[in-house]
Amino acid sequence: MNPASVVGIPSTIPKGAPPVRHYLQFSDLSASEYQYLLRRAAFIKAKFKTFTRHQPLVDRTLAMIFEKASTRTRVSFEAGMYQLGGSVVHLTTGDSQLGRAEPIEDSARVISRMADLVMIRTFEQTKIERFAEFSRVPVINGLTNEFHPCQILADIFTYIEHRGPIAGKTVAWIGDGNNMANTWLQAATLLNFKVNISTPQGYEINEKIASSPYGISADSYQTYSSPQAACKAADLVTTDVWTSMGFEAENEVRKQAFAAWRVSTDMMAVAKPQALFMHCLPAHRSEEVDADVIDGPQSVVWDEAENRMHVQKALMEYLLLGQLD
């Protein structure tokens, strides 16, 4: 006899329960789901700004697993989950069995029996995919080597807040062909805008990722050898650190290779007069961006950072409760 049935506790997920939705890449949601999420994030932000309680996730727990450092991702998910009425468990590789070679599949099975949502920041995308495969609850990508979907969701929300719809607009990506660049390309394909991308030689976007199996259309982007040319007539200019987490050993070589890819006031001058500047942060002034740009009038980086929390609250609510309006 199944001991669980004796005490009336279901031993498996109930039959007929809706399939678990994960958010591992930007392309995991549809354009219409993004329309809802962006609208919902504005509603949730307005509540936050007027000190109006919004607690649809009372008694729900978010487990956050960090295998890399974080400021914004941790604070935005943690504060956001508390504001939604839930609670948070914070795990790192150093203070859990994750760092002592417990198989990721076993960790997923165990953690997802106790938490209602899991957010993971890790290295390879395959790692979060393996976790998700064995998780009974939604898994959210808080950054992998390949993708950073929550950041791009916040960036798009921020663009819309300041300038209206992003469809038909041009985003200039200047710098490393990294996880942010990949995710911008997924977003451009899905939401119908363009990305002009300029990277130093040897740091181009990965062609395998920039392809249809990853939800990226070749029509959604154009590559430029000159960063100035990529910025021309852009509606948004954005960049990231020259050395992403996990690539620190390449730092000095990268500084040389990226020297001409620092976003400057000259680059902003060839973008549209109303162009915005974004950076996912943390930033290194006088490396990937001049202080005059990041601290200048076109920069919206602080709104962008804050908006991580608002869009992720909408995302967590959606993954657990579905569409509410």
Q: Is 285 left (phi over 0), alpha (psi -120 to 50) or beta?
A: beta
Site stretch for ligand CP (CB under 6 A), options 40-48, 66-74, 104-112, 267-275: 66-74
Contacts of 26 (CB under 8 A, 6+ apart): 147, 149, 152, 153, 183, 186, 187, 190, 215
- Closer Cβ to ligand CP, 74 or 194, answer by number: 74
- Closer Cβ to ligand CP, 174 or 208, answer by number: 174
Q: Is 121 a catalytic residue?
A: yes
The answer to the question of residue 70 lying near ligand CP (CB under 6 A) is yes
Cβ(121)–Cβ(143) under 8 Å?
Answer: yes
Q: Is 148 a catalytic residue?
A: yes
Residue 5 C-beta: closest distance to ligand CP, Å: 44
The answer to the question of residue 280 lying near ligand CP (CB under 6 A) is yes
User: What is the C-alpha separation between 284 and 287, in angstroms, rounded?
Assistant: 5
Contacts of 130 (CB under 8 A, 6+ apart): 104, 105, 108
Among 22, 40, 60, 72, binds ligand CP (CB under 6 A): 72
Could you give the C-alpha distances from 221 to 12, 88, 127, in angstroms and in order?
Answer: 45, 38, 28
Q: Is 280 a catalytic residue?
A: yes
- Closer Cβ to ligand CP, 20 or 281, answer by number: 281
The answer to the question of residue 281 lying near ligand CP (CB under 6 A) is yes
Location of structure tokens 């909408």: 314
Among 73, 83, 125, 158, binds ligand CP (CB under 6 A): 73
Q: Is 150 a catalytic residue?
A: no
- How much is the CA Rg of the chain, to the nearest whole Å? 20
Q: Which helix (H) or strand (E) holds 283?
A: none
User: What is the C-alpha separation between 131 and 134, in angstroms, rounded?
Assistant: 6
- Closer Cβ to ligand CP, 135 or 179, answer by number: 179
- Closer Cβ to ligand CP, 151 or 243, answer by number: 151
Binding mask 93-132 for ligand CP (x = CB under 6 A): ----------------------------------------
Reduced to 3 states, what is the DSSP secondary structure of residue 220? helix
Site stretch for ligand CP (CB under 6 A), options 65-73, 95-103, 109-117, 200-208: 65-73
Q: Is 116 a catalytic residue?
A: no
Site stretch for ligand CP (CB under 6 A), options 11-19, 39-47, 64-72, 295-303: 64-72
| DSSP for 86-115, written as a single string | -EEEEEESTTSGGGGT--HHHHHHHHHHH-
Binding site for ligand CP (CB under 6 A): 70-73, 143, 151, 280-281
